[in-house]
Amino acid sequence: MADPAPDAAYLRPAAPGQDAVLARAVLEVKRSRFLALVGRATGEAEVREFIAAIRAAHPDARHHCSASIVHVTGANPVERSSDDGEPSGTAGQPMLEVLRGSGLQDVVAVVVRWFGGVKLGTGGLVRAYQDALRPALADLPVVRREPQSVWSFEVGHAEAGRVESELRNRGVTVAAEYGARVTLHLTTPVGVDPSGTVAGITSGSAVIRRDGVRWADVPR
């Protein structure tokens, strides 16, 4: 399995809980009300589901404008935007520019507008949609998604606790799997080889193997 490039790491919203909306903000401009809602989407199907859920939750609003950026390994991110009935280029694209400026991927944003009876003009709409979205992004919980190498080796039950503890004390991420023997699964940044550390802790008795690469969300 080929390693992803070390610079392939990127920022994205934290995993959602029961509520898919991770951040929100409200803006009022000349009696029009703008509600910005931001979530995480790891594929275009999730983008569509998020937008549909917001539309269903606020059916009385005139516009449900959206923008999204979804990471694609080994390719450019997929970017989408929609003005949803606003004049072309006044909502979705300005929102997308704000998302680009945040550096986030796997992110979807919807700004819901209730029309207040006063037209804002092209420039006013652009400013309103961007100004609604920015504070929501500022409150968004964010993680760093990065590639990590995965390793494993076996030890006996009698020494498993000590070995696991010493690895953790040295900053290595460890998960234990118990069977006839104990398999310890390690994750390290791509390019970091824990073989020497394992050899020292086990006096050379453990045979470590590299199991490949996985992506992981790491707190910022």
Whether 54 and 158 map to the same domain: the answer is no
> Closest by alpha carbon to 37, among 68, 11, 59?
68
Residue 196 lies in a domain: yes
Given 140, 165, 184, the domain boundary residue is: 140
Reported pTM: 0.81
Q: Which two tokens stand for residue 89?
A: 């280029």
Are 168 and 89 found together in one domain? no
Residues 128, 193, single domain; the answer is no
pLDDT at 178 (0 to 100): 96
The answer to whether position 188 is within a domain reads yes
Please check whether residues 105 and 181 belong to one and the same domain: no
Supply the range of the domain harboring residue 85: 6-140
pLDDT in tens, 54-113: 999 999 999 999 999 999 988 899 999 999 999 999 999 999 999 999 999 999 999 999
Residue 204, domain CATH: 3.30.70.240
Last residue of a domain, one of 140, 161, 191: 140
pLDDT at 3 over 80: no
69 and 126: one domain? Answer: yes
Residue 7 — very low, low, confident or very high, per pLDDT cuts 50/70/90? Answer: low
| Mean pLDDT, residues 111-118 taken together | 95
End position of a domain, from candidates 120, 140, 160: 140
Task: Give the total number of structural domains in the chain.
Answer: 2
Instruction: Please check whether residue 147 is in contact with residue 4, taking contact to mean a CB–CB distance below 8 angstroms.
Output: yes
Q: Are 136 and 109 in a shared domain?
A: yes
Does 1 fall in a domain?
no
Write out pLDDT tens, residues 150-191.
999 999 999 999 999 999 999 899 999 999 999 999 999 888
Check which CATH number belongs to the domain holding 117 and give it.
3.30.230.30
Considering the domain architecture, whether residues 106 and 127 belong to the same structural domain is answered as yes
Per-residue pLDDT reduced to its tens digit, 125-140: 999 999 999 999 999 9
- Token couple for 59: 């059916």
**Co-location of 132 and 93 in the same domain:** yes
Mean pLDDT, the chain, rounded, equals 93
Query: What is the CB neighbour count within 10 angstroms for residue 160?
Result: 17
Based on the domain organization, do 12 and 95 belong to the same domain? yes
Tell me, yes or no, whether 14 and 30 share the same domain: yes
Answer yes or no: do 45 and 129 share one domain. Answer: yes
Shared domain check, 102 and 50: yes
